[in-house]
Structure 1
Amino acid sequence: MTLVNDAAPAVRSTGRKFRAFTAKHLEELTARAGLTPDERLATRAVATVLPFRTNAYVIEELIDWDAAPDDPIYRLVFPQPDMLPADDVAHLSDLLRRGAPKAEIDAAAHAIRVRLNPHPAGQMELNIPSFGDGKIPGLQHKYDETVLYFPKQGQTCHAYCTYCFRWAQFIGEPDLKMAGDDALQLRDYVKAHPEVTSVLFTGGDAMIMGEPVLRRYIEPLLELEQLESIRIGTKALAYWPQKFVTDPDADDMLRLFERVVEAGKNLAFQAHFSHPRELEPLVVTEAVRRIRDTGAVIRTQAPLIRTINDDAKTWETMWRAQTRMGMVPYYMFVERDTGPQDYFAVPLARAVDIFRDAYKNVAGVSRTVRGPSMSATPGKVCVDGVVEVAGQKVFALHFIQCRDAELVNRPFFAQYDPEAVWLDDLKPAFADRFPFER
């Protein structure tokens, strides 16, 4: 494959009808990757705990099967046997091998899930506000100006990333799921909070919804003068770009985007691209062009993930391609403290080096990107670098967003730790506590 460039023709792909693959297809697909019977069993064991879903486009257009199972896109969507502790995988494998009752397998899987911090950053405890008679299902309000909403109909994706920090949404346990379906309640909440200027639809993936359903959520918001932007968090451009090109409601969806822009709102696509290969198919170029033609702005983001994109050249290539296509590089995230973090996490010190080495080689128009950024309980913490202050080697950090708005963009320091992968691993430097701990 060759990376898409300016000269590549933007053509409408005839595409194929969407076809999903789930855990019941793992035996066949992992055999195609060359896994041994024991490795295939271990993969199925992991899939009893963490969700698996992909589709024909990812399988046939993005994965290099000659390089599997080491291919980065394969690792992006297929569970890996060492994503969970070896003892847990062995126990689950034994249950599958002897054909244990589903209830016994489900109980074992649940016991493992609750140890994986399914809802990081206080999502269920700290971010859900009360309104009217009680809590609003599916609504989070962590920062003053931004409300997140999880539409009930958007609680899946075209494919699941193995590192997804929202994995708990997809495992069929209602107590762990965030979802709402009252569009007017969302509008009324925003209207009652004039500090809110942006609504982010997330999930799952909001773009799994058809146009009539998404319109039902968006239209009531267009009447609110206070609202400046509507954001849509999505991986559809990487996993199913046909959504905007050849799907039956593609044209209607684009007209809906135009309505948002015509209403004087900024429509921001928070597009999730994890690897340059996701940008290569021509149907992606066409999907990006069609979305941008509506007036929407596409901002790109992804976490830094070990074994998938943990080198500077990958990020440099990705940011260059996104810029050429008219998208805006936005965030490099740090893998969140949930799920298989121990498997995917990159130490913060190395993350800083990777970010800097990629950042220094791109032009200024690509330097809109920020990172490495941790979406932690107090807010979004950016690791600016490793510096020496008063003879001490330290991490320099600042808040991009914070529950306490007074701390935004104020630098603070943490003791240097080459093994630290998350904010909780750090200790304050030059102080008894971090600013957010006062």
Structure 2
Amino acid sequence: MENKKYKNYILRNYSDLPQLSALSDQEREAIGVVGRVLPFKTNNYVIEELIDWNNVPDDPIFTLTFPRGEMLSKLHYRQVKKLIDRNDEAGLKQKVYEIRMKLNPNPAGQQYNMPTVEGIKLHGMQHKYRETVLFFPSQGQTCHAYCTFCFRWPQFSGMNELKFAMKEADLLHKYLLKHPKVSDVLFTGGDPLTANASIISTYIEPLLTKEFSHIRNIRIGSK
């Protein structure tokens, strides 16, 4: 079996895919329009091995990966397309931001679940439920392919003011030591397993010591 190197496809190069000839002009256009508002990325494994191109656009993996026009309101779609056609990058950037802010980028008030330790706000953590802490390692805030249903799309959209991420392992550990009722830690993203194993180990290995005996479950949200 041939070992193929990973290659991603994003807005910049997705039109190079010969498989897209199976789509209508409108369906191809929608990828470029919606992909300006919501993050789009896939890869050669998804394209070559998982999608049944004889069944697009109804193939479920295609639907999971490629943006569709109905993901935006008709008004927002027209507004974005008009600015793309005008090549108005400044206007497009502003309009995309306005649309994103109307799409509930932080559902369920996620920003209110951000804890603090010793007066430091932990921008890469959420602690909503007593027993569970979510941690967003900075190095794992991407995926090899983005899902069209993902409610964490602000993580990948360059909206740093809405992004949850941090790389300070010591602050995670300090917070957990101060909260012995926490039994579960979920490393999430993005996909933390896109990061180097040595980086992930700096977060996880200390949790395996007796000092953190109250931590019973360590989970990693990954494809």
1:189 is aligned to 2:175: yes
Overall identity of the aligned pairs, in %: 46
User: Which among 91, 106, 113 is matched to residue 119 of structure 1?
Assistant: 106
Structure 1 unpaired stretches of 5+: 1-12, 236-438
Residues 20-67 of structure 1: per-residue CA shift (max 9 Å, x gap) = 111112333486253333432232111110000011111101001111
Q: Which position in structure 1 is the counterpart of 2:44?
A: 56
Q: Is residue 184–residue 218 contact of structure 2 (8 Å, CA) maintained in 1?
A: yes
**What is the alpha-carbon distance in structure 1 between the residues aligned to residue 164 and residue 188 of structure 2?**
10
Q: Is residue 20–residue 28 contact of structure 2 (8 Å, CA) maintained in 1?
A: no
**What is the alpha-carbon distance in structure 2 between the residues aligned to residue 16 and residue 187 of structure 1?**
39
Q: Which position in structure 1 is the counterpart of 2:131?
A: 145
Closer, same or farther: CA 79–30 of 1 in aligned 2, 3 Å: farther
**What is the alpha-carbon distance in structure 1 between the residues aligned to residue 157 and residue 172 of structure 2?**
25
Give the RMSD, CA atoms, in angstroms. 1.5
Q: Which position in structure 2 is the counterpart of 1:161?
A: 147
1:202 is aligned to 2:161: no
Relative to total residues, which structure has the larger helix share, 1 or 2? 2
1:174 is aligned to 2:154: no
Residues 151-192 of structure 1: per-residue CA shift (max 9 Å, x gap) = 000010010000101111000110110001011110110011
**What is the alpha-carbon distance in structure 2 between the residues aligned to residue 187 and residue 217 of structure 1?**
8
Q: Is residue 30–residue 40 contact of structure 1 (8 Å, CA) maintained in 2?
A: no
Higher alpha-carbon Rg: 1
**What is the alpha-carbon distance in structure 1 between the residues aligned to residue 119 and residue 18 of structure 2?**
49
SS in 1 for 2:128: strand
Q: Is residue 185–residue 217 contact of structure 2 (8 Å, CA) maintained in 1?
A: yes
Q: Which position in structure 2 is the counterpart of 1:270?
A: none
User: Which among 110, 119, 130 is matched to residue 97 of structure 2?
Assistant: 110
Closer, same or farther: CA 175–38 of 1 in aligned 2, 3 Å: same
**What is the alpha-carbon distance in structure 2 between the residues aligned to residue 116 and residue 85 of structure 1?**
10
**What is the alpha-carbon distance in structure 2 between the residues aligned to residue 182 and residue 24 of structure 1?**
33
TM-score by length of 1: 0.49
Residues 271-329 of structure 1: per-residue CA shift (max 9 Å, x gap) = xxxxxxxxxxxxxxxxxxxxxxxxxxxxxxxxxxxxxxxxxxxxxxxxxxxxxxxxxxx
**Number of aligned pairs?**
221
Relative to total residues, which structure has the larger strand share, 1 or 2? 1
Q: Is residue 33–residue 80 contact of structure 2 (8 Å, CA) maintained in 1?
A: yes
SS in 2 for 1:199: strand
TM-score by length of 2: 0.94
**What is the alpha-carbon distance in structure 1 between the residues aligned to residue 92 and residue 77 of structure 2?**
12
Closer, same or farther: CA 132–79 of 1 in aligned 2, 3 Å: same
SS in 2 for 1:82: helix
Structure 2 unpaired stretches of 5+: none
SS in 2 for 1:48: coil
